[in-house]
Amino acid sequence: MSLTSKQRSYLRGLANNMDPIIQIGKGGITANLLLQADEALEAREIVKGKVLKNHFGGVKETAEELAAKTGAEVVQVIGSVFVLYRESKESRIKLPM
């Protein structure tokens, strides 16, 4: 499923006031981090994460890798912060068409 620009814009608006709940540091994307991200996506559908300065990879590449491993979509990357979206089994967010 690929998001349209209208859907991305809507999700960016929802993520605006959220705090990052996923932090990726020098350990990179670990099994524990994947589990945390997966649970957060299932519970909230949209999560904000932050790549810390001590992480060696790029923010966009790291966000895309995490999205691929969790079945999510990268909504946006600004600076060291990224937003991921994945529809959960009990969908809460109604995306515009």
Write down the domain spans for the chain. 5-85
Strand partners, 74: 84
Instruction: For residues 34 and 30, give the distance between their C-alpha atoms in angstroms, rounded to a whole number.
Output: 6
> Could you report the per-residue pLDDT of 20-75, keeping only the tens digit for each?
999 999 999 999 999 999 999 999 999 999 999 999 889 999 999 999 999 999 99
Statement: 5-85 belongs to CATH 3.40.250.10: no
- Res 77 pLDDT > 80: yes
pLDDT of residue 1: 62
Instruction: For residues 30 and 50, give the distance between their C-alpha atoms in angstroms, rounded to a whole number.
Output: 15
